[in-house]
Structure 1
Amino acid sequence: MPACEAQPSGFAAIDWSKPWFAPFAGRGRRWQQAALTGYEALLAEMNADAREMRQSTGRGERLAFIAQDDLPPGAAYEAHIASTGCVPTRHNLHDFFNASMWFAFPRIKAALNARQSAAIDTLGVGPTRGGVRDTLTLFDENALLFASADPALSAALRGFDWQTLLVARRDAWGASCEVRCFGHALLEKLMTPFKACTGHAWIVEVPDGYFEWNATRRDAWLDESVAEALLNTDTLSSRMFAPLPVLGVPGWWPENEAPAFYDDASVFRAGRRAR
């Protein structure tokens, strides 16, 4: 089996009922069946959707998905996407979830690609990415979007105040705050969830009426708002994220119904700020 090929059981194991996968289930189930058929079938399904959506990459090139082996030798991944619109894609879960985000949050993906390719144009491809590219990569791989209409909840997340955010204000989830998984490496890790699995939350302050909107409108607003922030924030750093253990999100894991779940200080840490 070529290196780019995944074991079919990997794709078969995706449980679309899980809250971190559920928002992407509509397209995801169809792609899953294509992936189980084979590599070419998956690329064909992705490209059919790309043609229908007329999605563009960071420099306005029309989005398409190509086999990893079609990436020219020596070409930088992000620069190639920006200049051609073609996303090198392997037949594995990591790239499956990456491609999914081009449809779930297309503006955010295009903004990340635009900033990455601009940094490559300026600095070239060296032994290290540099601070800005590291932050963009962290976002792309491991970000959660934490949407909050209550500044107190955002402050609790930034301050590692887990008791306020996840226990005392538990009823606020779905009414004043919510989370969307974005990072494709994070989604891959959540194939086999574990208590310490932690995402990097990008906090988005949302308007008062946000939680009265349907999921499609909320996602579109997040997509536009976060993309604009990524494009227009001059200094990007990892300090802009707040760690959030994913299985601690209320309603996302049965064991967190018990308040004692959050007493595990090895997972729900006090953090540097508190210390």
Structure 2
Amino acid sequence: MTESVAESGAGTARRRFIAPLRGQVDTACFQHPLFAEFMAWRTLMTGDAWPDIETLNACMPLPGRRFVAQDASLLEDGLHYETRIQQGRIATRPQNWHDLFNAMVWTRYPAIKHALNAQQCGHIARMGPSARNAGQQALTQFDETGVIVRVRDVALLDAWDAHDWSTLLHANAALWRSGDIAIAGVVGHALMEQMLVPGRLLVGKCLVVQGEDDAVCVARVAEAIINGDVLAAAAELRPLPLAGVPGWYPQQDADFYAQVNYFRPLREGRAYPQPLR
């Protein structure tokens, strides 16, 4: 089995997650909307055998970068993971769900992954490879559990600001279906890994953009990251209980949204930034 650390549905504690073996995964899980934008690589997820590094590079070519097997010989250089990426090598563990999903996100959102790496390397250059500051933690949290949300009318954020989840997600379900508010992109590959286990109630950490077009909003997030305008601290990220998004969970009645252990109330003093525009 493979291991990764990702946020649980509780929305606060970080717990060690052990992904199921490939043969234990019900491939029906890949029909979930979380995977909708990654269906070009469905066979890499559902095939009987793991794709090797050569297959990843052939199926998901990246200008200026390539996936390399993370083995003992690679690690002998002693470099930081992010430094290797800056040099063009994305260390990838064989037969590993977490790293397969990471490769898919690299291919789907190269500008965002490049921006995250550039910011991480800037922090490493200033602080050294061992220290970690609030900015690095925010970058990592978005990289692992990040979701980009597009909204047309910022007034919809009033309910989100108050953690009024029933209003945001249940009462306004029609606005999610119409695209007035929508998930424009899933960046968090740890979310994808946890979705392999049925019934997981996941929490995404969101950057919000006011706009009309998903691709434009994703590009705006990449621009904001590379310019250092966002992700100075993890508190900038808005939590979103993803099972509450209309159509993302089988039973979404009023009782479901009343579960305060998942749909957490707002902590005193917590406030969120305005959306990018």
CA contact (8 A) 2:143 2:188 kept: yes
**Could you say which residue in structure 2 is the equivalent of 1:44?**
54
**Could you say which residue in structure 1 is the equivalent of 2:222?**
227
| Whole-angstrom distance in 1 between the partners of 2:79 and 2:29 | 35
Q: Which amino acid aligns with 1:42?
A: D
5 Å matches for 1:122-161?
122-126=126-130, 128-161=131-164
Over the aligned positions, Cα root-mean-square deviation in angstroms equals 2.5
1:176 aligns with 2:180: yes
**Could you say which residue in structure 1 is the equivalent of 2:266?**
271
CA contact (8 A) 1:201 1:244 kept: yes
CA contact (8 A) 1:195 1:245 kept: no
* Structure number having the greater helix percentage: 1
**Could you say which residue in structure 1 is the equivalent of 2:256?**
261
CA contact (8 A) 1:65 1:87 kept: yes
TM-score calculated relative to the size of structure 1: 0.82
| Whole-angstrom distance in 2 between the partners of 1:50 and 1:110 | 15
1:43-91 CA distance string (max 9 Å, x none)? 122111344xxx34xxxxx1100111153322100011102x1111112
Secondary structure of 1:145's partner? Answer: strand
| Whole-angstrom distance in 2 between the partners of 1:159 and 1:273 | 10
1:247 aligns with 2:247: no
1:32 aligns with 2:32: no
TM-score calculated relative to the size of structure 2: 0.81
Q: Kindly tell me the number of residue pairs found equivalent between the two proteins.
A: 249
**Could you say which residue in structure 2 is the equivalent of 1:206?**
211
Structure 2: runs of 5+ lacking an equivalent? 4-19, 271-277
**Could you say which residue in structure 1 is the equivalent of 2:32?**
18
1:80 to 81, 84, 89: 84
* Structure number having the greater strand percentage: 2
1:191 aligns with 2:196: yes
| Whole-angstrom distance in 1 between the partners of 2:237 and 2:52 | 33
| Whole-angstrom distance in 2 between the partners of 1:10 and 1:78 | 31
Inter-CA distance 193–228: structure 2 relative to 1 (3 Å threshold): farther
Q: Which amino acid aligns with 2:30?
A: W
CA contact (8 A) 2:115 2:225 kept: yes
| Whole-angstrom distance in 2 between the partners of 1:46 and 1:11 | 20
CA contact (8 A) 2:29 2:198 kept: no
| Whole-angstrom distance in 1 between the partners of 2:268 and 2:238 | 11
Higher RCO (C-alpha 8 Å, min separation 6): 2
Secondary structure of 1:173's partner? Answer: helix
Inter-CA distance 14–106: structure 2 relative to 1 (3 Å threshold): farther
Percent of counterpart pairs with the same letter?
34
Structure 1: runs of 5+ lacking an equivalent? 57-61, 211-217
| Whole-angstrom distance in 2 between the partners of 1:252 and 1:173 | 11
1:212-237 CA distance string (max 9 Å, x none)? xxxxxx3x323311100111235611
Q: Which amino acid aligns with 2:263?
A: F
1:260 Cα offset (Å): 1.6
Kindly report structure 1 stretches of 4+ aligned residues shifted beyond 4 Å: none
Secondary structure of 2:251's partner? Answer: helix
**Could you say which residue in structure 2 is the equivalent of 1:68?**
70
1:11 Cα offset (Å): 6.0
| Whole-angstrom distance in 2 between the partners of 1:167 and 1:2 | 36
